[in-house]
Structure 1
């Protein structure tokens, strides 16, 4: 099995196996539950089970790929960006010629406080359509609403209570009381890749206890992909057992 990810930058998915980010760490832990071993274990690096593509690599690929469908053209410019990113990642993943690919595209939902759920849903569906047009059946979008900082705040500040309201805040880092500034206040320092990784390792960020629509959608989709790749495994849900999938 081969895990392929692309994110916003090194602070979320990381840059390589030696320097993974918190999003990669969480994805790998969820996969490990079903697979039985970790795809990001440094002792297994010779297996080459993890590949990370930068945003710049996706942009370069997207600029060269042929138009395969009018779907992308007919989408608003913003959602076309998510669609093209998914297409590009699917194409790059295919070049690896690896078996049993799990291809994960992380992008912040962003948006303002006035953005509605429909806008977020359109972005999510655009990513799924981008995977589909390249005939990739194991593509998994991760689209926090509005940003992954909302997930970290749910765990680290709000004790997993009433976290859904965090998804309605602005994703604009320049806005007053932005999520980025809120998490920095909560931590007393910037939310770096290493600090968030440490919080995950210490159990202070428990993905099973975060009940937020954008995170639940990701876990449900990853669970579907693993069900298809691991038919011989017992089909237990990655989503919290107390939640209805």
Structure 2
């Protein structure tokens, strides 16, 4: 059964973070971020009913712990068996594998059954980034770790969620949008989302505005490869904890 979740991300605009300057936070000291909220909404829909009823989804910060990327970097230094470049792990992705391994260690030692590792794809190769994070998590039995890696960035998922009517063209966002916030207003994800939200030309949404999107977006409508991979990984993780075929379908 899932009773406790560990999350990490790049900053307050994705998985949130501590409001008291500490590297680890939960409860009143953890500010839930937009992508953490999206992950929790999806978790609620996929969990078997008996497990959903054991969690207070009105106050998820009470059973979620946030660990900062700096704290993961510190914990990585003390890993016993660090990952190194190999045929399965390219040199530029070793850091992510080791941080995922450090996250899994912490989760296991502190009774978190589920761990979300968020990172925008940006300019990385999606497959290599996904594989490196999975490799880091897979070394620790007892913890189900999930890469949450929107392509190219988290805003692309919200842009897809705002398409009317829902269409298969969302997949093209992953290649047509840039992973660079400094790109033009036509393909910088933040600027494109800002335009859809009615903001001034070239303006991106605030964390609060993205949180509102995470509250209202139709999680069933988003249909793009990176999001679908996240759903698949989360479904598999739930069934790894709760049992085969226990996850519900969207």
Q: Give the TM-score band, short-chain normalised.
A: 0.7 to 0.9
Q: Distance in 2 between matches of 1:85 and 1:53?
A: 11
Alignment counterpart, residue 226 of structure 1, candidates 223, 227, 238: 238
Unaligned runs of 5+ in 2: 18-25
Q: How far 1:126 sits from its partner (Å)?
A: 0.7
- C-alpha distance 232-164 of structure 1, shift in aligned 2 (>3 A): closer
What is the TM-score with the length of structure 2 in the denominator?
0.79
> Is the Cα–Cα contact under 8 Å of residues 108 and 143 in structure 2 kept in the other structure?
no
Distance 1:75 1:225, change over 3 A: closer
Alpha-carbon distance in 1 for matches of 2:42, 2:9: 18
Give SS of 2:77's match. Answer: helix
1:192 aligns with 2:194: no
The residue aligned with 2:21 is none
TM-score (norm 1): 0.81
**Residue 178 of structure 2, aligned match among 170, 174, 180:** 170
Q: C-alpha distance in 2, partners of 1:23/1:135?
A: 26
Secondary structure at the aligned position of 2:181 is classed as coil
> Compared with structure 1, are the counterparts of its residues 155 and 69 closer, same or farther at alpha carbon in structure 2 (3 Å cutoff)?
closer
Specify which of 157, 161, 177 is matched with residue 151 of structure 1: 157
Give the match for residue 8 of structure 1: 10
Q: 1:127 to 1:234 in 2, by over 3 A?
A: closer
Does structure 1 conserve the Cα–Cα contact (< 8 Å) formed by 2:85 and 2:91?
no
| 1:68 CA drift (Å) | 3.9
RMSD (Å) for aligned C-alpha atoms: 2.6
**What is aligned with 1:51?**
65
1:26-45 alignment to 2 at 5 Å?
Answer: 26-33=38-45, 34=47, 35-37=51-53, 38-42=55-59
Q: Which runs of 5+ in 1 are unaligned?
A: 241-245
Cα deviation for residue 224 of structure 1 reads 1.0
Q: Is the 8 A contact 1:3 1:39 kept in 2?
A: no
> Are the structure 2 counterparts of residues 160 and 80 from structure 1 closer, same or farther at C-alpha, using a change threshold of 3 Å?
farther
Separation in structure 2 between the aligned mates of residue 73 and residue 66 of structure 1, nearest angstrom: 21
Change (3 A) 1:74 1:233: closer
Cα distance, 1:234–1:124 mapped onto 2, change above 3 Å: closer
Deviation string 1:36-57 (CA, Å, 9 cap, x unpaired) is 2445533x76xx4210111111
Per the alignment, residue 124 of structure 1 pairs with 130
1:64 is paired with a residue whose SS is coil
Q: Any conservation in 2 of the 1:68–1:133 contact (CA below 8 Å)?
A: no
* Change in CA separation of 1:184 and 1:77 when aligned onto 2, cut-off 3 Å: farther
Greater shift, 152-161 or 180-189, is seen at 152-161
